[in-house]
Amino acid sequence: MEWQQATFDALDTRTLFTLMKLRVDVFVVEQACAYPELDTHDTAPDTVHLMGWLNGELAAYARILAPGASYPGSSIGRVIIAPTHRNGQWGHQLIRQAIQVCQQQWPAQNIEIGAQAHLQRFYQKHDFVAFSDVYLEDGIPHIDMRLSVSETSAV
């Protein structure tokens, strides 16, 4: 997996199309969830688009937001492994890469996520701890989770 990170303004149009198509294919079509997938967080100057490329194909993606954009701490969201690449350990590699980006960009900040509830155990393997009850977001059960600064120094 070859990792790339870029701000919105640094993305070329083909890469932007590729990542947006993957997000819509997974979050809108596959999950049958009609909601505005694109938002102003995508274009914020401090948002990091993290992409994992495998044999020239976008296999993994996460959007990383600065502290205060969505939660008090930094945030990892729009976490995707392309359907054709879900049989490996790419999800764990993607989360490790995203945590590393957060640590480099905002080292003194907790990392917070709004995880789909069925993925809670997956995120717990990366030391995220739930700090909310399960709630519905766009009809899908979610739970807020946090990786505290003290835990990130051990990751």
CB 68 within 8 A of CB 141: no
Dihedral angle computed from the Cα positions of residues 65, 70, 76 and 81, in that order, rounded to the nearest 10 degrees: -100
Q: Is the pLDDT of residue 98 over 70?
A: yes
CA distances from 121 to 76, 103, 125, 152 (A): 16, 22, 6, 18
**CATH code: domain of residue 68:** 3.40.630.30
Is the pLDDT at 153 greater than 80? The verdict is: no
Q: Is the pLDDT of residue 24 over 60?
A: yes
Provide DSSP, 90-149.
HHHHHHHHHHHHHHHH-TTS-EEEEEEGGGHHHHHTTT-EE-S--EEETTEEEEEEEE-H
- Return the pLDDT at 154: 52
Question: How many domains, in total, are found in the chain?
Answer: 1
User: What would the pLDDT profile of 122-148 be if each residue is shown by its tens digit?
Assistant: 999 999 999 999 999 888 899 999 999
Residues spanned by the domain of 67: 2-152
Output the CA–CA distances (angstroms, integers) from residue 103 to 24, 100, 107, in the order listed.
28, 5, 4
